[in-house]
Amino acid sequence: MCRDVGNHLVKLIIEADGGSRGNPGVAGSGAAVLSESGELLIEIARFLGIATNNVAEYTALIAGLQEALRLDAGASIHVRMDSKLVIEQMGGGWKIKHPDMISLGAKVQELVRGREVTWQWIPREQNSRADALANKAMDEMADYTAYLRSPARDVSTPAAKASSAALTEFNANLPSSVRAPGKVTEPLTTLILVRHGRTALTEAHKISGGDGDDPELSEAGRQDASAVSKLIASFGKPGRYEHLAPASAIVSSPMQRTRETAAFIGEAVGLEVETLENLREIGFGDWDGHTSAEVAASEPEVWDAWRGSWTFAPPNGESLETFDKRLQAGREKILREHAGKTVVVVAHVMPIRGFLRWGFAATEASYWRSQVAPCSVTIIRAWGDQAAEVLAVNVTEHL
Cα(208)–Cα(39) distance, integer angstroms: 51
Beta bridge partners of 17: 30
Number of other residues whose CB lies within 10 A of the CB of residue 363: 10
In the 8-state DSSP scheme, what is residue 389? E
Q: Is 333 buried (19+), middle (13-18) or exposed (0-12) by CB count in 10 A?
A: middle
Which residues are 346's β-sheet partners?
194, 252
Q: Decide if 380 contacts 191 (C-beta within 8 A).
A: yes
* SS3 assignment, position 244: coil
Q: Distance between CA 78 and CA 169 in Å, rounded?
A: 31
- What DSSP string runs through 182-225? S---SPPEEEEEEE---BHHHHTTB---SSS--PPB-HHHHHHH
Q: What is the helix (H) or strand (E) element at residue 296, kind and residue range?
A: helix 292-298
Burial class (CB in 10 A: 0-12, 13-18, 19+), 130: buried
368 DSSP assignment: G
How many angstroms separate the CA atoms of 348 and 372, rounded? 8
Angle between helices 219-233 and 256-269 (to 10 degrees): 40
Q: At what angle do helices 99-112 and 84-91 cross, to 10 degrees?
A: 60
* Cα–Cα distance for residue pair 137/201, rounded to 1 Å: 46
Active-site amino acid positions: 196, 281
Start-to-end Cα distance in the chain: 25
